[in-house]
């Protein structure tokens, strides 16, 4: 009898139409909208200091800036509080070596950005993915494909290997 009662209590959220990942009766659509508006992600598996659950993982940003005219400078910024902060820091660092830097890729929490380029031409490609190795591979593959379609036979190289925006909080 105790096992049946426990099972009913555990499943009560499902009986009333709640997702097992919802919090306080919040629908999945409401959770996604709230996360988007707050600039963070909601993790129902972690509890807050109030004990009510729902630790908010803040969104962090990264950006890569390169000199697309001379290909002599590149820089990146990671784990910034906003996209604008990440872009500005990357550009500021890049501009120490070149005046023609621009942001070519931005990425957010738990994602990476990489830039691959052809040494023989002005072809370059920026890619984002979740894993470092996947990001590097995607950048190289895209750049090589772009180079081949332009008649370039030399392989591209990683100009800026994967840089990732990771949350560094506790």
What's the pLDDT at 168? 59
Per-residue burial over 143-164, b = 16 or more CB atoms within 10 Å of its CB, e = otherwise: bbebbeeeebeeebebbbebbb
**What is the spatial distance between Cα 101 and Cα 139, in angstroms, rounded to a whole number?**
19
What's the pLDDT at 102? 93
% of residues, the chain, pLDDT over 70? 64
Helix (H, G, I), strand (E, B) or coil at 123: coil
Task: Determine which of 56-60, 112-116, 149-153 has the lowest per-residue pLDDT on average.
Answer: 56-60
How many angstroms from the chain centroid is the CA of residue 33?
18
Task: Band the pLDDT of 51: cuts 50, 70, 90.
Answer: very low
- Residue 6, C-beta contacts closer than 8 angstroms, at least 6 positions apart: none
Task: Band the pLDDT of 46: cuts 50, 70, 90.
Answer: very low
């Amino acid at each position: 009898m105790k096992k049946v009662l426990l099972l009913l209590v555990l499943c009560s959220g499902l009986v009333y139409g709640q997702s097992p990942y919802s919090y306080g009766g919040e629908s999945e659509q409401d959770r996604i909208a709230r996360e988007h508006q707050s600039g963070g992600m909601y993790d129902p598996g972690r509890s807050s200091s109030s004990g009510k659950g729902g630790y908010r993982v803040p969104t962090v940003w990264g950006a890569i800036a390169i000199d697309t005219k001379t290909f002599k400078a590149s820089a990146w910024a990671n784990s910034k509080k906003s996209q604008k902060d990440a872009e500005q820091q990357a550009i500021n660092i890049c501009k120490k070596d070149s005046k023609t830097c621009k942001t070519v890729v931005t990425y957010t929490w738990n994602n990476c950005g990489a830039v691959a380029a052809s040494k023989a031409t002005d072809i370059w490609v920026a890619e984002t993915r979740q894993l470092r190795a996947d990001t590097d591979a995607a950048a190289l593959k895209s750049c090589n494909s772009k180079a081949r379609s332009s008649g370039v036979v030399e392989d591209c190289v990683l100009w800026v290997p994967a840089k990732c925006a990771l949350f560094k909080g506790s």
